Structure 1
Amino acid sequence: MIDVDVDADRSIRTVTIDRPAARNALTTEGLETLETAITDADEPVIYLCGAGPAFCAGADLEAVGDLDGDRDRAVEFARLGQRVARAIEDTSAIVVAGIDGPARGGGLELALACDVRVGTPDSTYGEPGVTFGLFGAWGGTVRLPRVLGEGDALEFALSGRTADAEEALRMGLISRIEDEPRAVADEIAGNATDALAVLKRRLRDDAERATQERREAHAFGELVEAHADDVDAVLE
């Protein structure tokens, strides 16, 4: 269900949600395997994508149905999805979501946890769970307002509607539209590995401003020390 491929130069780990017949919907087993694929990575860039004509439809509805209305089991399932999303955020690797076709519910929420989201012209986005009494609970209510702002996040989630790639770009759900999203992962992987990891930590830092600035200055000092020869080469 989760296919992992590592480039020969070990700069990019490609993680593919590989269940195209179910639009790459995730079961408990799929989520656990996806978490391992992320946390085991030692490559500086992870490219997350879906097999076939979808990115990810979110939670497998049969798996949700198998919860039999049990509140505690439902909470446990939601917490697992949240844990996978946190693993994406917390890994030192830069995680690029390459979104082709539908990203729905939990699939969209996993994409929101990624550092960079790139859609194809055929990509679409939505939180349709509200139309049948549910919502994606893999951290979407936390991340969607951060990405869109509270007003747009409320309208988008409460309507249950679908956004195409152009609207997603305007809203900030994705940062680029590309025929081949993998090219963005390649572009990022061409940069200095230590600088990528430092930038992710700094840009993800949610401490108060003075602490962030102090950490930023120290991180800059470490990189200047590590790359003094590179800077000299640029100046020559």
Structure 2
Amino acid sequence: MITTERAEDVLIVTLDRPERRNALTPSGLDALEAAVTDTDAPVVYLRGAGDAFCAGADLDVVADLEDPRAFAARGQVVARAIADSESVVVAGIDGAARGGGVELALACDLRVGTPEATFAETGVKLGLFGAWGGTARLPRVVGEGEAMDIALSGRIVDAEAALRMGLISRITDDPRAVADELAANDHGALGVLKRRLRDDDGRTEQERREADAFADLHAAAEFDRT
């Protein structure tokens, strides 16, 4: 489900489950956390296999959760591992990012999309929401107004709109080249700059409340498995 390849100073991490649009299971979350923490590469490039970046959590897993609060908290830990990684993490988004896939991208230090990149927080249509830190990160990235629009509508945001609101910083046919560009810079400076720009307090309580709210909604949700 998660594959890694080292290309000089860049570790390429691939969400490799294209038949499920790279949707993540608990074991996939574990593997992703290990990939971004167990490396000395100055730059990590996170991508999806096939025609999607990541569809978020596997809905078959979500429907059968015995402890939705713990599942939300686990996703938050993985997103936090990406944000707190010693490496600079670049998300290369080619195709769809949905729900938890958007949240994993938000945790990355830089998000670069192809012209085919699209984003949506579709959980609201299912009576849920992505609970991997997105309610804290999304308004910080795009502003409260845009975050409310994206989260409450569930609408699909295309690459040009994502660029305008700051959800991605560039549109390019080759997002991987941006990771290589960063890796060519001084590695010590990259790390220091990331830590200073990431300096943030108060998120733990926000994440706890997010997980609680997800668990409450999950208890009332009805899942269509057709």
TM value normalised by structure 1: 0.84
Post-superposition offset of 1:66: 1.7
Question: Do structure 1's residue 2 and structure 2's residue 31 form an aligned pair?
Answer: no
The runs of 4+ residues in structure 1 deviating greater than 3 Å are none
Aligned to 1:12: 10
Please name the residue that 1:134 is paired with. Answer: 128
Q: Which SS does the other structure have where 2:137 is aligned?
A: helix
Aligned-pair CA distance for 1:46? 0.1
Residues 140-185 of structure 1, C-alpha deviations (whole Å, 9 max, x = no match): 0000010011111111100010000000000110000010100000
CA distances 1:98-117 after superposition (whole Å, capped 9, x unpaired) = 00000000000000000000
1:188 partnered with 2:157: no
Taking the aligned partners of 2:143 and 2:196, their CA distance within structure 1 comes to 21
Aligned partners of 2:76 and 2:200: how far apart in 1? 18
Residue 173 of structure 1 pairs with residue 167 of structure 2:
yes
Q: What letter matches 1:117 in structure 2?
A: R
Decide which of 54, 61, 70 is 1:56's aligned counterpart: 54
Counterpart of 2:192, as a letter, is V
Distance 1:41 1:111 in 2: 19
* Paired residue type of 2:54: C
Give 2:115's aligned amino acid: P
Gaps of 5+ in 1: 208-236
Establish whether residue 26 from structure 1 lines up as the match of residue 24 from structure 2. yes
The residue number in structure 1 matching 2:214 is: none
Greater Cα radius of gyration, structure 1 or 2:
1
2:39 aligned residue (34, 41, 44): 41
For 1:74, the equivalent position in structure 2 comes to 68
Q: Does 2:154 match 1:160? A: yes
Q: Percent identity?
A: 66
Q: Residue 98 in 1 paired to residue 92 in 2? A: yes
> How many angstroms does 1:195 deviate by?
0.5
The amino acid across from 2:128 in the alignment is L
The match for 2:117 is: 123
Report the equivalent of 1:215. Answer: none
Higher RCO (C-alpha under 8 Å, 6+ residues apart): 2
Match of 1:202 in 2: 196
> Counterparts of 1:154 and 1:106 in 2: how far apart (Å)?
17
CA displacement, residues 186-217 of structure 1 (integer Å, 9 cap, x when unaligned): 0000000000000001111136xxxxxxxxxx
Distance 1:50 1:43 in 2: 19
Quote how far apart the aligned CAs of 1:41 are.
1.2
- What's the secondary structure of 1:103's corresponding residue? strand
Q: 3-state SS of the aligned residue for 1:30? A: helix
Q: TM-score, normalised by structure 2?
A: 0.88
Q: Unpaired segments of 5 or more residues in structure 2?
A: 202-226
Determine the structure 2 residue equivalent to 1:229: none
Partner of 1:87: 81
